[in-house]
Amino acid sequence: MRSLGLQVRQSFSGITRIAVLFSVIVASAACAQKPVKTGAQLLYESSFERLEGLRVGLIVNHTSRVIDAHLIDLAHADPGVTVAALFGPEHGLRGAEEDGVAIPDGVDKLTGAPVYSLYGRTRKPEPAMLDGLDILVFDIQDVGARFYTYISTMGLAMQAAAEAGMPFMVLDRPNPLSGSYVSGFVLEPELTSFVGQFAIPIAHGLTVGELARMIKGAALLPGLENLDLKVVPMSGWTRSMQWPDTNLPWLPTSPNIPDFTTALAYPGLCLFESTSASEGRGTPTPFLHVGATWADGAELALALNEAGLPGVTFEATTFTPMLIEGMETNPKLSGQTLEGVRIRVTDRMVYQPVETGIHLLHAFYHAAPDQDAFLSRPRWLDRLSGTSRLNAMLPSALPDAIIASWSDELEAFRAARAEYLIYN
């Protein structure tokens, strides 16, 4: 009987350990799957407490959503908040306009508030636009690339708020690429433009709230010393999270960024906007393939696969850029059959978009029968990459040497950004 009792106790002890282990696993999984709440959602759940009694200017677009509702609608419905002005970035308040299209001002039918375009005759809020406002609030989903213009809009609006002596609030949202991936050349000051406002790398690994803190604290733009900057942080987000880990629905951030995979590839493939090759605009999957009339897709795919880049493979492909209503009405090389490569992201966690873009650019440049004709907009490449060094290195340097050339400035940036980080 003692033996049987011992066996029962041992068996029970084993079952208990298994049950406890299972509970820990389930609890850990539940914690890992805890939904991310954006700054906008937390502000809404607080009944807009921080905006109570204020006349608010909202800098928003179609991505400014809280669960199934738009921030404009929720703020307008709150009796304590007055939506007094709306400001729209590139692509407009509803996100339907193509890249580079100037957008006029208007009036919002729901609120009756004026709608000011920050991608039309001006890109910075003018003093008259801020008359009667108590605060500017920014809530737009970014993609984590320096040349994506929503962050330039944020920076210029911060300047306008500082000049008006007005508080500026950022409702934070995730960096889709994660908060840990940092890559690319740091912008050289002489190349400052609307696609490069700040001395940060191509992939900066910051949320918009963290970036706003750094823009002010590190003086990435002048005149912000006395800005009353307020950031409403997220809950549940950590630096290792890419977009799929957040459990948040993806909304196309602009017509040619329809999904997360496109956003993931964009920081590297956007460099092809400076070339005569197509970066896939005018197809349902922009920034996921590159082609030209002269390209040998099989040869390019073979060479790129031999490089053994992490998390990606390349396939030979053909495609024909065409007008796509709501995405692209005048794509490069429209109607021409192009040969090139398709990018297949096989492991998003190790995929390196900027490094992959450098390898692709180098491969196409050296395969081109006329390299000057291929690099048709060299000054635009300088602006996108943030440096004139890439243009200078392409003819003779290998991709790994180009990538290694930014390591020192990247480490300096990592050190400089550390004090502005909000999330672990």
Domain with CATH 3.40.50.12170 in the chain: 39-242+415-420
Beta-bridged to residue 37, according to DSSP, are 235
d(CA 267, CA 144): 8
d(CA 71, CA 66): 6
User: Do residues 84 and 76 make contact, with C-beta atoms less than 8 angstroms apart?
Assistant: no
pLDDT of residue 103: 77
pLDDT tens digits along 387-411: 999 999 999 999 999 999 999 999 9
Rounded Cα distance between 262 and 207, Å, is 19
Q: How far is it between the farthest Cα atoms of the chain?
A: 91
**pLDDT-based confidence at residue 115 (cuts at 50, 70, 90):** very high
269's enclosing H/E stretch is: helix 260-269
Mean pLDDT (whole number) for 330-347: 98
The pLDDT of residue 98 is: 60
What is the tens place of the pLDDT at every residue in 122-153? Answer: 999 999 999 999 999 999 999 999 999 999 99
The contacts found for 246-253 with CB under 8 angstroms, 24 or more apart, are 246/35, 246/36, 246/174, 247/33, 247/35, 247/36, 248/35, 248/36, 248/38, 248/174, 251/62, 251/63, 251/65, 251/141, 252/95, 253/63, 253/95, 253/141, 253/142, 253/143, 253/148, 253/150
Span 245-263, mean pLDDT? 96
User: What is the spatial distance between Cα 269 and Cα 287, in angstroms, rounded to a whole number?
Assistant: 5
Provide, rounded to the nearest whole percent, the portion of the chain with pLDDT above 70. 90
CB of 355 within 8 A of CB of 398?
Answer: no
Phi-psi region of 31 (alpha: psi -120 to 50; beta: other; left: phi over 0): alpha
Quote the CA–CA distance of 208 and 153 in Å, as a whole number. Answer: 11
Determine the length of the chain.
424
Residue 68 CA to residue 86 CA, distance in Å, equals 20
Write out pLDDT tens, residues 169-196: 999 999 999 999 999 999 999 999 999 9
CA 92 to each of CA 88, 195, 275: distance values in angstroms, whole numbers, following the listed order: 5, 17, 27
| pLDDT computed for residue 17 by the predictor | 40
Name which CATH class applies to 260-393: alpha beta
- From the CA atom positions of the chain, what is the Rg in Å? 24
Average pLDDT over residues 353-379: 98
At residue 29, does pLDDT exceed 80? no
Average pLDDT, the chain: 92
Which residues of the chain are in CATH 3.90.1150.140 domains? 260-393
pLDDT (average), residues 63-81: 96
β-pairing verdict for 55-60 and 168-171: unpaired
Q: What is the CATH number of domain 39-242+415-420?
A: 3.40.50.12170
